[in-house]
Structure 1
């Protein structure tokens, strides 16, 4: 590949915070990191926030790539090892650019802001490197707008880690089939698997099934959960809507078939990971907590309940709050305590019930920032509001789960508070797609708001 065919990608700081090893993801093309970006990473790496870890990883990755290079080689570019490049083909290069040394005549934007320094660098190199294509890569929407307004031809978001291009394409965990399912089946074999009935059929028009995906039809009677498919034959657990809707957990019954499917997955000990998505008020937290109490207090499947969630960036360090870790986390886990109140509001001694259940179920509130290094055994773990987590942060939690532990991840992709995440780059979206084909996981999109008619109207019209 000639130099003119190679693309020069200039990386913004937020790209390296989002994906610390991003320098290795541009295949045979060249990557440039402006000096301003290194300075911003240096300022971030010592902060007492989770993002500081990503900054340190990014700095180490750049150092590893440039460790043995001379100053001249760093300016010109050092070859990068890339796994996806064929043997003998051109390799991309990594370089550092001293953007503070730009000629004054090239300052298209005031240099008081770091973003402007990086944009000025991209504009200068766009002219200097012609006809080579120069691309500024940033996850900052406003910076992309400023760069285009200043005359930069190519500005892109970092999408290498995106598994889908539109959140509407995200797997919902179920297929809704037209007509009556059984009328479309030409051949069927039935067998028993414990208390479950397993059906193996010559598959009708069902495409792209995956393990533990639910199947519904228009008959209001059929519901199945996929075991596997070879393209011609489909195996599934025959659940039946009536049986699904009649199941209860800690006194909670499903209000619609989507909650019924979620309850089925939450109460199945063979499923280690349950992912619940859906709008506010669809019952994600209520169902998760009810199933947790049922399986800890009533059936004894698990020893304790651990509840964790990401804390807002303004309070990511919870040290300023008084009390123990559980007491510090209480303001951010009010949704859980509110749900406990709903589950026990009709008890004669409401306060007594709350204290009893908290102690009996051994409910522990933990900060996600202190989960690293732990090994969680025989627990029911609820990771709430995880639409605000990156894939790396969710991986931290998942890799803590040991034998006999069930993890429930819940979140609403329309309520992302992070400055650096969108619905398609959220860690919640990432795990839905990554774990789709894992036989130990199930995903259910809880369609419909059941909290109140006010919440339902707000979700639909605001």
Structure 2
């Protein structure tokens, strides 16, 4: 272990993870008093950051050590101390470069003063705000992102499903004939397969879309199925339907760029199995494009969130248009909506609920924090299936990126579990124009 360090935490670190105090090993942690003032603004509300602010304040309240505002309070065995920095003066460097006394500049001042007070100990400002990191570097302050829940290897979110070459074509014939599949050892693949991974097998003379069923250790054929009027247009979409239609896969992640069909496939899979679940729930976080709010919206709660939920209604309309107006399937869709069996709502309303026998689709999951993802999954009761969809390159939350968002965190942590699956959709199928824009712009 290296030498002991001093870490100064920005407010956004706490709002991201209210348990962050216990993730710095035996290093000492410092909180500028302005951070507590900022947290006070976030205590009211139903969003995850409001919950995190309240929980952190409760954690802080349990630390009754009188040394908290002087020498520091012990956080526990093998952990460092926590100190609150009060009455921090503005050094000339901060005053001359950033004269306005906004919270960010007060945090910079507190960090610089701490570094000078402890010259033999490395002082680091931890913040998820890229702009604040740049400001800090201009003053010679060492900065870091909060990386505890960051995923380092994100190659699986940029590549197509894997293909394997095998020498024995008879194995592929056996996979086609066997309903249960063949033991994975027969394939002679050296690479380790992920839980419920789908891939393409080639022998030179034949090929098959295949899936590794991790619960049985066998490889089976992926059948190209039509789900409620929607037909898969490529191998990855067939793989998505394979895992969507398997009741043993309780947790599924569908990733991919815009136009690959993530939400549409998930909804089609849910509708096909609607008789097996009491309810189909579609939800998404209320995050406006580029984090720009739409401003005041008239009406009740449902009317206020309607603009944010419109993409989900658009996907439902795509499926409706596969059927004749007034036909049995069209009427069935109308009926389950009216009866509340198909519900589209904001993700914030899930908190505190227990979702039993529900097919739950969480759209735009890349805008969720790891803690938010955990909160949602722990809502799952008996007989519930959860599908998370998202594009890790389209993140609208200012303090998340392609490595720290909840979607990649969930996929990274769940790999190897028999009830989990992940399909990365690569080819855009929305339109030629959409695919061109996604690739070139």
TM over 0.5: yes
Residue of structure 1 in register with 2:101 after alignment: 112
Whether 2:368 is the aligned partner of 1:392: answer no
CA change 1:353–1:30 in 2 (3 A) is: same
Once the two structures are overlaid, the 10-residue window that deviates more, 165-174 or 20-29, is 165-174
Whether 2:32 is the aligned partner of 1:41: answer no
Deviations 1:73-121 (A, max 9, x none): 5321122215xx4xxxxx4111111144456687453242211111112
Which residue, out of 201, 204, 220, partners 1:238?
Answer: 220
**What SS is found at the alignment partner of 1:265?**
helix
Which residue, out of 187, 202, 208, partners 1:222?
Answer: 208
Mapping for residues 167-246 of structure 1, pairs under 5 Å? 167-168=154-155, 170=157, 174-177=161-164, 179-180=165-166, 182=168, 195-202=179-186, 204-218=188-202, 221-228=207-214, 235-240=217-222, 244-245=223-224
Mapped contact 2:6–2:122 kept (Cα < 8 A): yes
Distance 1:169 1:348 in 2: 40
- Name the Cα RMSD after superposition: 3.2
**What SS is found at the alignment partner of 2:44?**
coil
Bigger relative contact order (CA 8 A; separation at least 6): 2
Whether 2:228 is the aligned partner of 1:250: answer yes
Residue of structure 1 in register with 2:152 after alignment: 165
CA change 1:375–1:172 in 2 (3 A) is: farther
Give 5+ residue unaligned stretches, structure 2: none
CA change 1:63–1:291 in 2 (3 A) is: same
Mapped contact 1:190–1:199 kept (Cα < 8 A): no
Distance 2:432 2:323 in 1: 26
Which residue, out of 245, 248, 270, partners 1:267?
Answer: 245
Residue of structure 2 in register with 1:127 after alignment: 116
Residue of structure 1 in register with 2:273 after alignment: 295
Q: CA deviation at 1:437?
A: 1.5
Residue of structure 1 in register with 2:299 after alignment: 322
Distance 1:127 1:303 in 2: 62
Mapped contact 1:344–1:350 kept (Cα < 8 A): no
Residue of structure 2 in register with 1:59 after alignment: 57
Mapping for residues 334-373 of structure 1, pairs under 5 Å? 334-349=310-325, 356-360=332-336, 362-373=341-352
CA change 1:265–1:420 in 2 (3 A) is: same
CA change 1:286–1:48 in 2 (3 A) is: closer
Q: How many residues align?
A: 433
Once the two structures are overlaid, the 10-residue window that deviates more, 445-454 or 165-174, is 165-174
Distance 1:280 1:131 in 2: 50
Mapped contact 1:329–1:365 kept (Cα < 8 A): no
Mapped contact 1:281–1:451 kept (Cα < 8 A): yes
Distance 2:335 2:31 in 1: 53
Residue of structure 2 in register with 1:88 after alignment: none
CA change 1:146–1:315 in 2 (3 A) is: closer
- TM-score for the superposition, normalised by structure 1: 0.85
Mapped contact 1:214–1:226 kept (Cα < 8 A): yes
Whether 2:255 is the aligned partner of 1:277: answer yes
CA change 1:173–1:396 in 2 (3 A) is: farther
Residue of structure 1 in register with 2:132 after alignment: 143
Distance 2:156 2:270 in 1: 30
Q: CA deviation at 1:198?
A: 3.4
- TM-score for the superposition, normalised by structure 2: 0.88
Q: CA deviation at 1:6?
A: 1.3
Whether 2:306 is the aligned partner of 1:306: answer no
Q: CA deviation at 1:173?
A: 9.4
Mapped contact 1:275–1:410 kept (Cα < 8 A): yes
